Amino acid sequence: MSMELDVFVGNTTIMDMEVYQLWLDGLTVSDAVKVRMDEGALLECEANAEVLTSDTMDQFRTFQMCERLLHSPTKLGSQLLYQIPAQNQRILIERYYEFDSVFAREVLGKKLSKGTKKDLDDISCKTGITLKSCRRQFDNFKRVFKVVEELKGPLVENIQRHFLLSDTLARDYAAIVFFANSRFETGKRKLQYLSFQDFAFCAGQLISYWTVGAVDVWEPNDPDMDVDLEKEFLHELKDLKVLVNDKDMMDQHKILVCAALRGKIKVYKLMEVNFKNLSRALINLASKLTHTKDVRDLFIDLVEKFIEPCRYDRWTVAEITLFLTHYTNAAHCLGTFRYQMIWDRYMGVIKSCILQMYHE
């Protein structure tokens, strides 16, 4: 049976973004054709399976040839080989660097090395994401990390400048880079309930308030401001120990918090009994952050020392919010407490992270 086809010649590279997504998902040509047929492509295009297969193969071939340019997105706009409209360029780049949150959760905090890459088979089986897609996503994480880890200046801005990503996606990559650099513990059983977005939110808080870039205006000769936590600030956190070492100050702190919360939370009596334990948990965590291992254990310590005891006593998120708010504010009313700026900088992040991590 013969078939007539209209043929035209142009210099604009034709790309079907739905087929592009199938390629990104790691499907084979035959699997992609089946998906397109199931979605009614034959009726839409008035073509047969052979034409659809040929079109899919041609699209896949084009994407594969463009892939090397997507590794360096800034080159895509200046190259002349493929005439791709600016809007399509943005879509190609953004989708290429998008990733599955469940995949990111599996590799979060791990070293982006060959050792981790060997685990991708297992991650693929566990998540249901094709191995090819897992490899693309992992290679993208590694590529972004290598480019920005030694760059000066704000992390999110560096990612956007070199990879042309949207603000939201650049912030997610900043979290991945930050966790890969600091090697926070995320894999323990007690942390498995936390999603990538939970950790990404916490990373954003740490980057915004605990790194060098959180307090300084960046200058060209400054270090990589948003990748490393500020050592001087972590050292100063030891001064907060006075809140639990000075008995009179601790008692006064408790009196102020209890007065503010009386009649406002159902767990008031439990809070009153456990106040000193909860306070010690928060202060001791701060004082240990000068050690690399304790920094890496930040999230597991928050869960074990504060979140689990509150969950056991059935605190609600609203009650924890009230407690942490008044616990933080009350320290300002302690006449002999002289570390308010450090205190607010510490507790602002801790409060935000606890509320993000506390799932009733």
Going by C-alpha positions, the residue among 211, 199, 229 that lies closest to residue 356 is 199
Tens of pLDDT, residues 27-43: 999 999 999 988 887 77
**Looking at the predicted structure, is the pLDDT value of residue 18 above 70?**
yes
Tens of pLDDT, residues 261-282: 999 999 999 999 999 999 999 9
Strand partners, 83: 12
- CB of 257 closer than 8 Å to CB of 243: no
d(CA 214, CA 220): 16
d(CA 151, CA 220): 10
Tens of pLDDT, residues 124-149: 999 999 999 999 999 999 999 999 98
| Residue type present at position 220 | P
d(CA 44, CA 233): 62
**Looking at the predicted structure, is the pLDDT value of residue 238 above 80?**
yes
Contacts of 16 (CB under 8 A, 6+ apart): 55, 59
| Rounded to 5°, angle at Cα 348 from 345 and 354 | 135
Give the pair of three-digit tokens for residue 309.
Answer: 């005891």
Residue 79 has a pLDDT of 84
Give the number of other Cβ atoms within 10 Å of residue 353's Cβ. Answer: 21
**Looking at the predicted structure, is the pLDDT value of residue 360 above 50?**
yes
- Residue whose tokens read 């919010």: 321
Residue 164 has a pLDDT of 97
**Looking at the predicted structure, is the pLDDT value of residue 224 above 70?**
no
**Looking at the predicted structure, is the pLDDT value of residue 3 above 70?**
no
d(CA 312, CA 219): 47
pLDDT band (50, 70, 90) for residue 116? confident
Q: Is 127 exposed, middle or buried (0-12, 13-18, 19+ CB in 10 A)?
A: middle
**Looking at the predicted structure, is the pLDDT value of residue 218 above 70?**
no
Q: In the chain, what are the domain boundaries?
A: 17-97, 101-207, 233-357
**Looking at the predicted structure, is the pLDDT value of residue 248 above 70?**
yes
Contacts of 21 (CB under 8 A, 6+ apart): 95
- CB of 249 closer than 8 Å to CB of 339: no
From residue 109, alpha-carbon distances to 14, 104, 128, 181 in Å are 39, 9, 21, 8
Instruction: Identify the weakest region by mean pLDDT among 4-13, 235-244, 304-313.
Output: 4-13
SS3 category, 188: coil
| Residue type present at position 72 | S
Give the pair of three-digit tokens for residue 232.
Answer: 């001087």
**Looking at the predicted structure, is the pLDDT value of residue 8 above 80?**
no
Strand partners, 229: 211
- CB of 295 closer than 8 Å to CB of 229: yes
- CB of 82 closer than 8 Å to CB of 68: no
Give the pair of three-digit tokens for residue 13.
Answer: 């590279």
- CB of 287 closer than 8 Å to CB of 241: yes
